[in-house]
Chains A and B, each alone.
Chain A
């Protein structure tokens, strides 16, 4: 099992780490298969994501996908963020090892949960 350069880069230097105290949407998703967890925080203005932060407990793939998800989602409309799939994230990272594809669900699902919370408000 080998990680791509991009995965290793996002793992070693994750972008958009942290929390947003008065976020417009927060999504937390855990994967019982291996007990990992990601939380995504978004701030939204005029229907667009203007700030995004995440926290992840998990493997290198979980951290890298969360980091990449926040990069891809920043500046997107809520609808655009909802359309972001785990495959988009994996593709942006030049792929993930097959056993690690389930980790990429985590970040996209957490983002979607945050967007849905925001939309419900």
Chain B
């Protein structure tokens, strides 16, 4: 059976060019970047070049980039690294932010969670009015991983700047899919991850604006300018940098491709199936995200039927989570729990094709029809 991967917000396949770029760093250029000999020098050169590439992709300087083990670590480093004060964040952040905030609350820190509107948008006015004398950090994600809504980060950044507060944004989902310039957007701290942009898993970076003081999480040999001890994962970092440069190079082509497929999918589903709603913002959203709500059916059932047809998606349904809690993001939009059940996230990628979307549009109406036929909620 042909398999169709529509879960690129979860992770992506590593680009073949990226793999090729990485390979020599396992077996030939395997030195420790801290060593003084030529093996070390070669690794160090690769590390420096990679740092420059990632910096360029963000409009930053190389010495403002700290490589980490991924988005989660970058988020932890940013939040825990700002050692004191009140934090303002949003109610729809990724668990890497929310769980870290809960941890900090357990350790006596105060956190304010600003709400979002029904499209998943944070109102910068709410952020500004949450500021207290004790506020040290605002952390609002750039684009949401479930619904793809893109936040007004530039505006939030300038509010933070006006108040002399640090601004962090989790750009794990937006990196490579929207324009990012840390200077223009008034960003002090920004998290990115490699495996969402066709790079290897287990690598990411935190941009730390020059002059911003952050406490490291890892203590040890003083790697990464003392910000993250541990021998650098050179193959991973080289792969991440290659993936970042491909994302920049292919930005316009990717955006056109993804937007076309996403619009085709949304329009096709709306045309062929009744009682479907788009979750998230109609226009201010990632070009690859279609989060759709199918009334009267449950998401795990929908997901498994699609899986039986070879189509991979994800759902915000309570039934598919270990905790049996519905998606905190969809709840924050004010969607009723029974409606959240029928939400499916399709996230498209560079490798998807029109014929794949046509196949989805061919099988989906029948699956939804079948589940509605057995649903007591569908009214006969």
Q: A residues engaging B (CB < 8 A)? A: 1, 3, 8, 11-12, 14, 17, 19, 28, 33-39, 54-60, 62-63, 99, 103
Given A34-B319, A35-B341, A38-B376, is A58 in contact with B305 using a C-beta cutoff of 8 Å? no
Task: Report if B300 contacts A (CB, 8 A).
Answer: yes
Chain B min CB distance to A20 (Å): 13
Does chain A have a CB within 8 A of B297?
yes
Query: Could you mark each residue 334-378 of chain B with 1 if its beta carbon is under 8 Å from any beta carbon of chain A, else 0?
Result: 000110010000000000000000000000000000000111110
Are B376 and A99 closer than 8 Å at their CB atoms? no
A59→B301 contact, CB < 8 A:
yes
15 contacts between A and B (CB under 8 A): A1-B322, A3-B304, A8-B304, A33-B324, A34-B341, A36-B341, A37-B377, A55-B375, A55-B376, A56-B376, A59-B298, A60-B304, A62-B319, A99-B324, A103-B319
Contact in complex: B322, A36 (CB < 8 Å): no
Q: Is the CB of A11 within 8 A of B301?
A: yes
| Distance in angstroms between the alpha carbons of A57 and B317 in the assembled complex | 12
Q: 10 other contacts beyond A59-B298, A62-B298, A99-B324, with CB at 8 A cut-off? A: A3-B304, A33-B324, A35-B318, A37-B377, A55-B376, A56-B374, A57-B376, A58-B298, A60-B300, A63-B301
Indicate whether A35 sits within 8 Å of B337 (C-beta atoms), given known contacts A14-B374, A55-B376, A60-B304: yes
- Chain B contact residues: over half helix, strand or loop, or mixed? loop
Q: Is B267 an interface residue (CB 8 A)?
A: no
Residues A57 and B375 in contact, CB atoms below 8 Å apart: yes
Please measure, in the bound complex, the distance between the C-alpha atom of A38 and the C-alpha atom of B298, giving whole angstroms: 13
CA distance A56 to B296 in the complex (A): 10
Does any Cβ of A come within 8 Å of B320's Cβ? yes
A109 to B63, CA, bound (A): 63
The answer on a CB contact under 8 Å between A17 and B322 is no
CB distance from B298 to the nearest CB of A (A): 5
Question: Which residues of the other chain, A, contact B305 by a CB distance below 8 angstroms?
Answer: 12
How many angstroms between the C-alpha atoms of A56 and B326 in the bound complex?
19
Chain B CB within 10 Å — which of A19, A28, A63 has the most? Answer: A63
Cβ-defined contact, B373 with A17, below 8 A: yes
Residues of B participating in the A interface, judged by any CB pair closer than 8 Å: 296-298, 300-301, 304-305, 308, 317-320, 322, 324, 326, 337-338, 341, 373-377, 380
Residue from the list A17, A36, A39 in contact with B298, Cβ < 8 A: A36
Interface of A is mostly: mixed
* 4 nearest CB pairs, A to B: A59-B319, A55-B376, A59-B300, A34-B318
Interchain CB contact under 8 A, B300 and A55:
no
| B321 CB, min distance to chain A CBs, angstroms | 9
Give the complex CA separation of A36 and B318 in angstroms: 10
How many Å lie between the Cα of A31 and that of B142 in the bound state?
36
Cα separation A99 to B324 with both chains bound (whole Å): 8
Given contacts A11-B301, A60-B304, contact A35 B374 (CB under 8 A): no
A-chain residues with CB within 8 Å of residue B320 when the two chains form the complex: 59
Q: Which listed residue, A28, A58, A99, touches B301 by the CB 8 Å rule?
A: A58
Bound-state CA distance A68–B319 (Å) is 19
Min C-beta distance of B316 to chain A, whole Å: 12
B374 lies within 8 A of A11 (CB): no
Complex CA gap A57/B324 in Å reads 15
| Closest Cβ–Cβ distance, residue B342 to chain A (whole Å) | 9
Residue numbers in A under 8 Å from B301 (CB-CB): 11, 58-60, 63
Asked if B298 and A57 sit within 8 Å, CB to CB, the answer is yes
Contact A56 B375 (CB under 8 A): yes
* Cα–Cα distance between A54 and B376 once the two chains are bound (Å): 9
CB distance from A111 to the nearest CB of B (A): 14
Q: Which residue of A lies closest to B300 (CB)?
A: A59
B319 touches A58 (CB 8 A): yes
Q: Given the known A-B contacts A14-B374, A17-B373, A99-B322, are A57 and B304 also in contact in the complex, defined by CB atoms under 8 Å?
A: no
Known: A38-B376, A63-B374. A12 touches B298 (CB 8 A): no
- A55 → B minimal CB distance (Å): 4
Given A12-B305, A34-B324, A37-B377, A59–B297 Cβ distance below 8 Å? no
A51 to B326: give the CA distance in the assembly, Å. Answer: 36
B318 x A57 contact (CB < 8 A):
no
